[in-house]
Amino acid sequence: MKYYLKCIECGAEFEKTEIIYTCKKCNGLLDVIYDYNEIKKNMDMNKLKNEAPSVWKYKDLLPVGIEPVSIREGGTPLYKCDRLAKKIGIRELYVKHEGMNPTGSFKDRGMTVGVSKAIELGMKTVACASTGNTSAALAIYGAKAGIPSVVLLPAGKVALGKIGQALMHGAKVIMIKGNFDDALLLVRELCDQEPIYLLNSINPYRLEGQKTIAFEIVDQLGFTVPDRVVLPVGNAGNITAINKGFKEFVTLGITDRRPKMTGIQTAGACPIVKAIKSGAKDITPEKNPETIATAIRIGDPVNARKALAAIRESSGTAESVTDDELVQAQKDLAQLEGIGVEPASATSVAGLKKLVDMGIISKDETVVCVTTGHLLKDPEEVISVCIEPVTVEPTIEALRKAIFS
């Protein structure tokens, strides 16, 4: 398949065989560009309409030419959430639950493509910085591929389940005395100096896997497009990737419009929201991001330039929510719809509610919220925000008392 890398800033083009993460001329972010006419010519519409969704269903739009390193990622449920919609006050709400991926987050979509690409390029070791989920996914796909993985985590700020995954799947886990942004700078330096393949979202190939969320949403809505997609934003790769997916379906003539991309951050870590609200060209990095949603505790999102463009060109918006608001949304998802998510994921629903209350999102819109990670990722947060279980003597009287009084 024909494709190449193109700088989003200066337009410089690079061969698909080059091992680069940013533009060699201006250091801008890179995009993967395909020959859409060729893809269109060879597109199997019958397969597209009838095969069950999964990342590799869309392999004609993915930059991998080998048998992929896969553990059946994607094909996550799109739930119609009428009780939650009623509580928020909108007509039609869906939740795309990415927590149902093999490692419990959307990162698997990126890593199945990213680690496959590493193998195709002949790389022997992979690495990332992570707030947790990226490291879990890298460890698992590295294990499946049979190559070592190195993960740098901000010490003391990663949810337990994610560290457990990275350790058990055999990654070299290194705690950095700093935040995620510090860890990312460090791992970029390492990968520039050593033959280690960087698989954070600055790697344009990894983001290609994540655009399949858009393809699946269209697929699962019977080849229609929602008015709006709302999702959490941290390092800002996912909102960029999903927007690219929707754009590609329009380019290929599969759909005829795109949803408004709406990014949600927390009040303690919201550089993208501030830039959108002020109309600034760039973000101002935040030095000390802080939030209960450790997955998006990020002050200097590396994909900010792509994400700001995605939000603006899709006529979307961005909003911040408090930790209290996201915990309430996490409970609503769990108790009204049976959808268990980690704190960062619940920002999508909290943000939707806030934007509906503010009158910015119309009650008549069809909205898809993306819930990015599973509840079991962060059991400590769950325990800290829920009522403690009661302990009773093993008698029917004590049991009755505990239940009925």
Ligand X SMILES: Cc1ncc(COP(=O)(O)O)c(C=O)c1O
Instruction: List binders of ligand X among 132-161 (CB under 6 A).
Output: 133
Q: How far is CA 45 from CA 13, 58, 214, 253, in A?
A: 31, 11, 17, 11
Instruction: Report if residue 236 touches ligand X, rule: CB under 6 A.
Output: yes
Which DSSP string corresponds to 321-351? Answer: E-HHHHHHHHHHHHHHH---B-HHHHHHHHH
Q: Which of 97, 184, 373, 378 binds ligand X (CB under 6 A)?
A: 373
Chosen from ligand LJ64HWYM, ligand X, none, partner binding at 314 (C-beta under 5 to 8 Å by type): none
Instruction: Report if residue 237 touches ligand X, rule: CB under 6 A.
Output: yes
Contact between 9 and 26 under an 8 Å Cβ cutoff? The reply is: yes
The interface mask with ligand LJ64HWYM, positions 108-147, x = CB under 6 A, is --------------------x-xxxxx-------------
Q: Which of 74, 212, 372, 375 binds ligand X (CB under 6 A)?
A: 372
- Is 391 annotated as contributing to ligand binding? no
Instruction: List binders of ligand X among 78-107 (CB under 6 A).
Output: 105
| 3-class secondary structure, 181 | helix
Q: Which of 76, 112, 212, 235 binds ligand X (CB under 6 A)?
A: 235
Instruction: Report if residue 165 touches ligand LJ64HWYM, rule: CB under 6 A.
Output: no
Site stretch for ligand X (CB under 6 A), options 8-16, 216-224, 226-234, 244-252: 226-234
**Residue 346 burial (C-beta neighbours within 10 Å; 0-12, 13-18, 19+):** buried
Strands 78-80 and 3-7: unpaired
Q: Which of 95, 187, 344, 346 binds ligand X (CB under 6 A)?
A: 344
Instruction: Report if residue 271 touches ligand LJ64HWYM, rule: CB under 6 A.
Output: no
Least distance in Å: CB of 112 to ligand X?
16
Instruction: List binders of ligand X among 193-222 (CB under 6 A).
Output: 201
- Is 288 annotated as contributing to ligand binding? no
Site stretch for ligand X (CB under 6 A), options 186-194, 229-237, 318-326, 354-362: 229-237
Instruction: Report if residue 350 touches ligand X, rule: CB under 6 A.
Output: no
Instruction: Report if residue 238 touches ligand X, rule: CB under 6 A.
Output: yes
CA geometry: angle 58, 61, 67, nearest 5 deg:
70
Contact between 32 and 17 under an 8 Å Cβ cutoff? The reply is: no
Contact between 103 and 137 under an 8 Å Cβ cutoff? The reply is: yes
Tokens 């759909």 — which residue? Answer: 255
Tokens 């961005």 — which residue? Answer: 318
| 3-class secondary structure, 93 | strand
Instruction: List binders of ligand LJ64HWYM among 290-329 (CB under 6 A).
Output: 295
- Is 114 annotated as contributing to ligand binding? no
- Is 235 annotated as contributing to ligand binding? yes
Cα 178 to Cα 158: distance, rounded to the nearest angstrom: 12
- Is 28 annotated as contributing to ligand binding? no
- Is 251 annotated as contributing to ligand binding? no
Query: What tokens appear for 129 in the block?
Result: 């910085």
Contact between 308 and 321 under an 8 Å Cβ cutoff? The reply is: no
Contact between 312 and 278 under an 8 Å Cβ cutoff? The reply is: no
- Residues at the binding site are 133, 234-238, 372
Q: What are the residues binding ligand X (CB under 6 A)?
A: 105, 131, 133, 201, 232-238, 295-296, 342, 344-345, 372-373
The residue ranges that bind ligand LJ64HWYM (CB under 6 A) are 107, 128, 130-134, 200-201, 234-235, 237, 295
